[in-house]
């Protein structure tokens, strides 16, 4: 009681684009009685019975995802706990007892009339909440991340074994530099479940047909096995694609080690490899069963790699309308990851709104392809792409220039223009006064002018 579940459920439902159902509210509507009246007229035992029947029926009867707000005592029922285990991701919105009491004191809540009794009830229920909860939340961002299967915590790599769902065999896929720094910790954490370790090249070289084909040949997992991908954004793209296609699809866990991976590439289930004709042209939607983000891994990043990821942070901040790039690392990662997770849950297969995450990327991919995926890094290309997108949107480019300071690249103009034309996305993503727009068509001469401005003479 007093944790703020109903308000949070409304906010989470809005962010995920899902219907919200408050069990207490429905019970009041069905019975025509307020919760205090139900307690007075029928007693707590009868109230719990009706609450149990309604909550279990709602949880088991919804064909589409919903957000439910459960009363504080609902999970004291084993029937409800079983339904939650089978049908839901359960998020515990935890508050301290003093805060909870201050919120409910003086109200007509039946179990909040006596402070001593309230505090006893708080202590009695906590072990049940701990048992049933899949995740702990303090705000909507945490709840969204839980819905997306994203765990963010310092020291998470050391707990990797307990965070990888299931009990089947695990193949660890990483890249040489990351494996040298973090590989031992990951292998110890995975313990006896680890059956093999594999390396992919660093950067975009991981996203070639040859590199992924070699990984296919090396993997010996059964269909019930799990690929754990530890590395930067290119590594998780490639390993996730290998998992999506090996044995027609095995489970995988994304463990992004770079800033670009933790705020963007390692989240959302899009996996892909590159072709000479363009970036990410062969891929699959294959959502990881868990994404494990350990912000402490960022401490080992060289400054140039951090700047690579900062381009995606600025992109996310522009989309969200907030200066997320100004936050400390751990909060920056959490907020950016939650923003992307919410967009992806609303549009998991990029049928519409998810296209906004490509802000600046049509130009970026063209520059990368024109460079043959060497010599122009993804972060630099995205920073330049953001300049073009903002100019075409009639918006100021000052944030990009001040935070990222991108300089034009030396690539073949005609090759870049041809690559932009082959990009798989339809139209451009621009920023309007009322937020991002996607699928925007502009005159070719305007688009070509902005592309040319990104290329060094």
**Residues 88-121: tens digit of each pLDDT:** 999 999 999 999 999 999 999 999 999 999 999 9
Query: Is residue 312 annotated as a catalytic residue, yes or no?
Result: yes
365 is an active site residue: yes
Contacts of 440 (CB under 8 A, 6+ apart): 427, 428, 429, 430
* Per annotation, catalytic residue among 5, 15, 270, 315: 270
What's the whole-number mean pLDDT along residues 272-278?
Answer: 89
Give the pLDDT band of residue 422 (cuts 50, 70, 90).
confident
The token pair that represents 114 in the structure block: 């006596």
Give the SS3 label for residue 113. coil
Task: Please report which confidence band the pLDDT of residue 426 belongs to, taking 50, 70 and 90 as the band edges.
Answer: low
Q: Measuring CA to CA, how many Å separate 152 from each of 20, 102, 163, 265, 445?
A: 25, 30, 11, 15, 44
pLDDT of residue 288: 98
pLDDT value, residue 279? 85
For domain 353-453, the question of CATH label 1.10.579.10 is answered with no
Q: Do domains 5-147 and 353-453 have the same CATH topology?
A: no
SS3 265: helix
How confident is the model over 244-272, as a mean pLDDT? 97
- Among the listed residues 15, 307, 340, 380, the single catalytic one is 340
- State how beta strands 226-231 and 251-256 pair: parallel
Judge whether 61 and 86 are in contact, CB under 8 Å: no
d(CA 337, CA 143): 12
Catalytic one of 51, 358, 380, 450: 358
Enumerate the domain spans of the chain.
5-147, 150-301, 353-453
Residue from 50, 218, 350, 353 carrying the catalytic annotation: 350
The position carrying tokens 């223009």 is 417
Q: Can 391 be counted among the known catalytic residues?
A: no
User: Is the pLDDT confidence value at 425 over 60?
Assistant: no
From 279, 315, 334, 361, active-site residue: 361
Pick the catalytic residue: 308, 354, 380, 450?
354
Average pLDDT for the chain: 95
Active site residue 350: yes
* Residue 423 neighbours by CB under 8 Å, 6+ apart: 278, 362, 365, 366
Summarize pLDDT for 132-148 with one digit per residue, the tens. Answer: 999 999 999 999 999 99
Residue 177 falls in the annotated catalytic set: no
pLDDT at position 418 is 92
- Known active-site residue 45: no
How far is residue 148's CA from residue 172's CA, in Å, rounded to a whole number? 22
In Å, what is the CA distance from 151 to each residue of 12, 141, 164? 17, 12, 11
Give, in order, the Cα–Cα distances in Å from 410 to each of 55, 279, 455: 61, 18, 6
Q: Please identify which of the residues 182, 307, 378, 380 carries the catalytic annotation.
A: 378
Instruction: From the candidates 123, 248, 433, 441, give the one annotated as an active-site residue.
Output: 248
* pLDDT at 344 (0 to 100): 97
Say whether 270 is catalytic: yes
pLDDT for 238: 98
Which fold does the domain 150-301 belong to in CATH?
A: Rossmann fold (3.40.50)
Per-residue pLDDT band for 80 (boundaries 50, 70, 90) equals very high
pLDDT above 60 (res 424)? no
Q: In the annotation, is 280 catalytic?
A: no
Domain 5-147 is found in CATH 3.40.640.10: no
358 belongs to the catalytic site: yes
In three-state secondary structure terms, 37 is helix
Query: Which candidate in 365, 368, 380, 450 is catalytic?
Result: 365
Q: Would you state the structure tokens that stand for residue 35, as one six-digit string?
A: 């919760």
Decide if pLDDT at 71 tops 60.
yes
29: number of Cβ within 10 Å: 10
% of the chain with per-residue pLDDT over 70:
99
């Amino acid at each position: 009681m007093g944790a703020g579940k109903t308000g949070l459920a409304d906010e989470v439902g809005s962010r995920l684009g899902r219907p919200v159902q408050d069990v207490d509210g429905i019970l009041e509507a069905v019975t025509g009685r307020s919760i205090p009246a139900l307690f007075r007229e029928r007693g707590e035992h009868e109230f719990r019975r009706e609450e149990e029947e309604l909550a279990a029926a709602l949880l088991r009867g919804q064909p589409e995802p919903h957000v439910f707000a459960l009363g504080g005592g609902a999970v004291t029922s084993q029937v409800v706990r079983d339904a939650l285990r089978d049908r839901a991701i359960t998020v515990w919105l935890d508050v301290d007892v003093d805060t909870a009491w201050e919120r409910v004191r003086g109200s007509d809540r039946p179990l909040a009339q006596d402070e001593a009794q309230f505090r006893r009830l708080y202590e009695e229920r906590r072990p049940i909440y701990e048992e049933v909860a899949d995740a702990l939340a303090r705000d909507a961002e945490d709840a969204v991340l839980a819905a997306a299967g994203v765990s963010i915590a310092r020291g998470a790599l050391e707990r990797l074994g307990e965070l990888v769902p299931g009990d089947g065999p695990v193949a660890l896929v990483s890249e040489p530099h990351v494996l040298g720094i973090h590989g031992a910790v990951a292998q110890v954490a995975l313990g006896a479940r680890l059956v093999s370790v594999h390396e992919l090249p660093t950067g975009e070289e991981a996203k070639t047909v040859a590199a992924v084909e070699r990984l296919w040949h090396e993997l010996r997992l059964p269909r019930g096995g799990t690929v754990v991908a530890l590395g930067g954004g290119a590594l998780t793209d490639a390993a996730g694609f290998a998992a999506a296609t090996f044995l027609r699809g095995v489970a995988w866990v994304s463990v992004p080690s770079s800033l670009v991976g933790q705020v963007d590439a390692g989240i959302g289930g899009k996996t892909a490899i590159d072709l000479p004709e363009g970036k990410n042209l062969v891929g699959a939607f294959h959502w990881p069963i868990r994404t494990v983000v350990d912000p402490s891994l960022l401490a080992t990043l060289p400054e140039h790699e951090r700047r690579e990821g900062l381009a995606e942070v600025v992109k996310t901040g522009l989309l969200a309308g907030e200066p997320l790039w100004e936050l400390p690392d751990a909060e920056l990662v959490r907020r950016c990851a939650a923003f992307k997770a919410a967009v992806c849950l609303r549009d998991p297969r990029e049928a519409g709104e998810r296209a906004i995450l490509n802000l600046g990327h049509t130009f970026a991919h063209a520059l990368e392809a024109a460079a043959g995926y060497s010599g122009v890094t993804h972060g630099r290309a995205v920073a330049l792409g953001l300049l073009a997108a903002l100019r075409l949107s009639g918006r100021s480019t000052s944030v990009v220039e001040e935070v990222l300071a991108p300089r034009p690249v030396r690539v073949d103009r005609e090759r870049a223009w041809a690559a932009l034309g082959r990009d798989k996305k339809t139209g451009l993503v621009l920023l309007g006064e009322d937020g991002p727009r996607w699928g925007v068509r502009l005159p070719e001469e305007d688009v070509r002018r902005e592309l040319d401005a990104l290329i060094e003479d």
